[in-house]
Structure formats: structure tokens, C-alpha cells
Chain A
Amino acid sequence: MILRLRDLSVRLGGSHILQGVTFDVPPAGVTALLGRNGVGKTTTLRAILGEVPASGAVEFGGEPVLGRPTHKLVRSGLGYVPEDRCVFGGLTVAENLRLAVRGPDPDYDTVHELFPELRARAGQRAGTLSGGQQQMVAIARVLLNRNRLLLVDEPTKGLAPAVVSSVAAVLARVAEHVPILLVEQNLAVVRRLAAGAVVLEAGRVAWTGTASDLLGDAGRTRTLLGVGRS
């Protein structure tokens, strides 16, 4: 297991957002982290990264990492593609990428192969890009470096259907080399990418298993995710 969460709890401003989350992420393929809005998916990712104070235990590659500063954890091979992309709007595309480079040998070849558009728009300010292009920048930032795990938060949120499918295709290719913990609302994307699935409910793990077991059972999907057919 590349990542183990044991009894992870987060309290923010008086509310108990995560109440003992426990699950594992295998060292290959895509694991989907699912659940209704507000159950704590994004908070789980941010707690793993050390962006919010948490208790419990997180093991990354066999080492306990909870309480370690975010930047050190990331440098040890944890890539993060945040919700809402968080590209730096005032910086150019090239500057956004340059900032993300961690090692002496950034993998620009892969980035330019997957996103030829970014090379053409290198001098453009990232704030003026479309949502899909910004998502490319956000994903490209983690592909420049060698990572042992990627945390990817709602990469298709707010994108046009055609763009959703190309983002999914990129993630499928990326997942051939590096495991991904994926938060995603679009169940079609989950079905296409994910092997394992973890479902959160009110700050706790409500279900773990394979993605096909979850999505193949309409009743289970409905009770756990609050959606009808998908």
C-alpha cells in the first residue's frame, strides 16, 4: 500500500469534519474517493497533505507523515492537483510550470506531448485561459516531477463534456505509471478510470471495495452517493 490512513480526524471551527477515516490506497491504478457533497473528501486530501490540522495516522510509502510540513511531503513524491485547479492567474503558463519544477530533470516532454496547447500558450497569463486549459496546467504541474502518488481533486468539475473526456484520457495514461487517489463526482469518469473505491459519509468511511462492485449495484450507488442511474 502506498498510502494508509488510520483513524484520520479533523476538527475545523468547532465542527468535526472527519471522524476517524481509515482506508488504504494500492500502489497502482486509480482509487476513487467518493461521497455526497460536504462529506469531507477534499478535507481528507488536504489533511493528508498537512494543509489542515488532523489527528490519527497517515503513512506514505511506509513512513508516518502526519504533521510533516506540506512542502517536504510533496517533495517526497506526492503530487497534488487541487479542486478548482488553483493555477496562478497572474503568472504565465511557462511561469506556472517553472514554479512547479522540483528536480534537476523536469519531464517537459510528457507535458508537451499530452498538452501541445500549453507550449503554444507559454507566454499567456494563466488567468486568461479557459477552465479546461487551466486544468491542463494543473495536471502538467504534477507531471513535470517524479511522483509516487497523485492526489487529484475533481479534475472534471465545471468542464464541457468534450473536455471532460480528454482530461479523463490523460488521467488514464498517467495512471499507467503512477497511482492516483481521485475525488470525482462524474461517475462515468470514475467507471472509466477507477479500480478501487472508497465512499465517505458524514466524515466516516461508509463503504470500500472495487469501483465496479459499487457502480454495478444501482441500489448501493443510490444509497451511498445519492444518485439514481449513472
Chain B
Amino acid sequence: MSTVILLTLTGLGLAALYFLIASGLSLVFGLAGVLNFAHGLFLSIGAYATWWAAPRWGLAVAVPLGIAAGAATGALVEVVLIRPLYKRPTEQVLVTVGLSLAGVALLQSVWGADPRTYPRPAWASEVTTIGSAQVPDDRFLLIGTAVVVLLALLAFLHKTRYGLIIRAGVENRDMVSALGIDVRRAFTLVFTIGGALAGTAGVLGGMYFGSVSPGQGASLLIFAFIVVVIGGLGSVTGSAVAAVVVGLLQQFVNYYGTAGAGDVSVVVLLALVLLLRPSGLARTAATA
């Protein structure tokens, strides 16, 4: 029983990371139509910014700085690199591919390829006893953050004008322009939000894994892609549900099956979902 509780909470912690990455990817893809391979770079930059700043100014400053660094990278990439290429979707993907290769290499040249020990608040290293299970507190940090982010995103999408524009743009962005709305400003916004969420995931991932390395973003990114496809492109709620399914499945199968079986089972799940429901779990992407 204690194993099940621990596995569940660990799986949900992982799901929280996947959700933070996937929701941004999903919005960027849903609205702007960009499959963003540089998303893992946003994550790594956020993670390294916090890692760099924490010993200087403490976590209270370093964490917001990491999130802001992710957001700023997202905005900058959209404005400088992606914007000139709208209406050329393949070139956009290619640019994000090049950026992810060059960006990881850049991080490597500055901070080396080896993992660096990551700072974390003292209380996150403690454990809480639930039933008979000893659960590390960092799990709750991840899960709690993801829940807050999910609620905030849904409120933003449903209660604000920009949220309305994003939801409509995911369905049909040409029509949004034809209503007299500058939909590209919303593109910058989703890139910024996606960058901020990826930066958050980078910081939390660093705390969760205990270390940060230049390639960390890329390896998380692939599972986040799977979450996005399973959840339905453009759907935040779909991403949340899919992240939970993927995180739990991966943890449980990895524990009870052979090592690596959990990762494989996630891909099998993806294949099944695509065969049964090609548009993903969310019936329409528009429900956000």
C-alpha cells in the first residue's frame, strides 16, 4: 500500500512537469501552428537562470528570475525568429530545430555537459508520512504548482479578452484576423506564457531531479510531445488529463515491469490513442 501511495504521488509529480511543458507547447501549436522544438531550450534557460542566481540572491529572487528568463526567451524567439516565417510552417519547425541544437550546445559551452547540483528549499527535502508511505515533499511542490497553473490558465482563457482570442485562434486564426483582431500579438503572448511555464518546469524539474544539465529539456520534451498529442493539440485541459495518465502509467509500469518498460508503454498508449481517436483525447481542441 505504501508503495502504491508513493508511486501515485511520484507519478503525479512527474505529470505536473509534463503538464507545465505540454500546456505551453499545446497552446503555441494550437494557436500559432508552430511545433516548437526550442521549447526544451526555454526550460533549460529557466533552470540555469535559477541555478545561477540562487547562490547569489537566494531562491526567493532566483525562482521568479528563472520563470522570467523562460518567458523572455519565449517572447524573443517568437518576435525575432518565428514571426518572419508565418505562412511557412515547415521553415518554422526547422528554425526551432536549429535553435534547440545550437542552444543546448551554447549552454554546454558555458556550464559544461555535466549535471550541476540544483538548489532547493530546505523543506522540499523533507518527507511527509501518508498512511505508511514516506513521501518526499518535493512531490507536493510540483503537484501544487501544476494545479495552481492549471486553474490560472483556465481562468485566463475563459475570463479575459486575450483568453477569448486565443481560444478562437486555436479554432480558426484567419477568421480572428478577419474580425479585425491582430492575432499575431496573441502569438507573442502564447510564446511568452509557454516560455514562463517551461521555465517553471525547468526550475521544478531541477529541484525534483536534484540536478540540471543542458540536455534535460530535450529529454522531457519528447514525453511532453506525447502528452500534447494524446491530450489533443491546443487543449489545456486535455494536456492536464493526458499528463496525469502518462505520468502514472510510466511510474507504475517502470516499478512493476522491467526498467524502461514504463517509457515504452507510454509510446504504446500514444499509438493506441492515435488508432482509436486520431484527434486525441479532447474531442475538440476548442474546449481549451
Give A contacts to B, CB under 8 Å: 49, 51, 69-72, 74-75, 80, 82, 86, 88-91, 95, 98-100, 102, 127, 141, 145
Contacts and interface: CB of A to CB of B under 8 A. Distances in A.
A-B interface, 9 closest residue pairs, ranked by CB to CB distance from nearest: A90-B286, A74-B180, A70-B177, A75-B180, A86-B175, A88-B168, A80-B178, A102-B180, A71-B182
B127 interface: no
B108 interface: no
B171 interface: yes
A75 B181 CA distance: 8
B126 interface: no
Interface in B158-187: 161, 164-165, 167-168, 171-172, 174-183
A95 B164 contact: yes
B157 to A, nearest CB: 11
Contacts of B178: 49, 51, 70-71, 74, 80, 82, 86
Nearest to A90: B286
Given A69-B177, A74-B178, A90 B171 contact: yes
Given A71-B182, A95-B164, A98-B164, A90 B177 contact: no
A89 B161 CA distance: 17
Given A69-B177, A70-B177, A99-B165, A90 B284 contact: yes
B8 interface: no
B213 to A, nearest CB: 40
The B interface is mostly helix, strand or loop, or mixed, namely helix
Nearest to A73: B180
11 contacts: A51-B174, A72-B182, A75-B180, A88-B172, A89-B284, A90-B171, A91-B164, A95-B164, A99-B164, A100-B180, A141-B179
A86 B181 contact: no
B279 interface: no
A88 B286 contact: yes
A102 B165 CA distance: 13
A88 B182 CA distance: 17
Given A51-B177, A71-B177, A86-B178, 7 more contacts: A49-B178, A51-B178, A71-B179, A90-B167, A91-B171, A95-B164, A100-B179
A71 B185 CA distance: 11
A88 B166 CA distance: 11
Contacts of B288: 90
Nearest to B287: A90
B176 to A, nearest CB: 7
A48 to B, nearest CB: 11
Contacts of A74: 177-180
A69 B179 CA distance: 12
Contacts of B174: 51, 70
A173 B285 CA distance: 37
Contact of A88 (B167, B177, B180): B167
B279 to A, nearest CB: 13
Contacts of A72: 182
Interface centre among A49, A72, A88, A98 (most CB of B within 10 A): A88
A127 B180 contact: no
Nearest to A49: B178
A95 B159 CA distance: 10
A145 B118 CA distance: 55
B86 to A, nearest CB: 11
B155 to A, nearest CB: 15
Nearest to A87: B175
Nearest to B283: A90
Contacts of A80: 178-179
